[in-house]
Amino acid sequence: MTVELLGYRYSVYSWVARLALHEKGVDYTWSEVDPFSGDVPPHYTDLHPFNRVPTLVHDGFAVYETGAITRYVDEAFPGPCLQPDVPQARARQNQILSVVDSYGYWPLVRQVFAHGIFRPHVGEAIDPAALRAGLETSEAVLSALDRLADESGFLVGNGLSLADVHLFPMVAYFAMVPDASAILRQRKKLAGWYDRMDARATVAATRPGLPDSSVS
């Protein structure tokens, strides 16, 4: 059996897929593809016509779109079940995945993390208006997620689910910006959830870090 994850080391969606594989205990190989490089290799475009990352290939079966990858990983491999059985909890999990993709990714990651941390770190120009807009939009996104989060300590039901796996990397990148961390800390339920997730061994094993600051 072969499992290959093609992704970019600093990509938050690649981190989500890696976290799911680690939580599930699946052995996989990693192939680095930088979707921002401008010269994505043709073999990758054949797998992913939109040139985004990640893509998973399992014994010749290729799947892209992170929510599809993590559901596939949960359903195709043994290990702890990462999706609740109860219809309401399953719906809440899927709702959170959709909220994260539709409303969270852009402000949290592409505006706040990119302009507040990543770009300055590698010496790229930043757009302060994008950072401000991202922080403002994130207030509403994190408030909605704080309302949706279960009281159990996980986002949904009584155990780790794909909702936790999908959201954590985005909030982890976001919270590296001090003003963003303050926004998270004002949402008590979400802040407690974040701290518990942050302590997981799988998070430590997959956390991307930042590039060498001499890289530009």
Q: Which spans of this chain sit near ligand GSH (rule: CB under 6 A)? A: 11-13, 35-36, 52-53, 65-67
Rounded least distance, CB 109 to ligand GSH, Å: 7
Instruction: Indicate the residue among 52 and 71 with the shorter CB distance to ligand GSH.
Output: 52
Angle, helices 162-174/66-76, rounded to nearest 10 degrees: 140
Instruction: Indicate the residue among 14 and 161 with the shorter CB distance to ligand GSH.
Output: 14
Between vectors from CA 189 to CA 209 and to CA 162, what angle results, nearest 5°? 60
Instruction: Indicate the residue among 65 and 150 with the shorter CB distance to ligand GSH.
Output: 65
Rounded least distance, CB 208 to ligand GSH, Å: 11
Instruction: Indicate the residue among 108 and 203 with the shorter CB distance to ligand GSH.
Output: 108
Rounded least distance, CB 116 to ligand GSH, Å: 16
Rounded least distance, CB 162 to ligand GSH, Å: 12
Instruction: Indicate the residue among 24 and 52 with the shorter CB distance to ligand GSH.
Output: 52
Instruction: Indicate the residue among 13 and 193 with the shorter CB distance to ligand GSH.
Output: 13
What is residue 61's three-state secondary structure? Answer: strand
Spatial strand order of the sheet with 55-58 comes to: 29-32, 3-7, 55-58, 61-64
For residues 202 and 22, the answer to whether their CB atoms sit within 8 Å is yes
Rounded least distance, CB 24 to ligand GSH, Å: 18
54-70 as b/e: b if 16+ CB within 10 A? bbbbbeeeebbbbbebb
Rounded least distance, CB 165 to ligand GSH, Å: 13
For residues 60 and 3, the answer to whether their CB atoms sit within 8 Å is no
What is residue 10's three-state secondary structure? Answer: coil
For residues 34 and 208, the answer to whether their CB atoms sit within 8 Å is no
Closest CA to 6 of 46, 57, 45, 40: 57
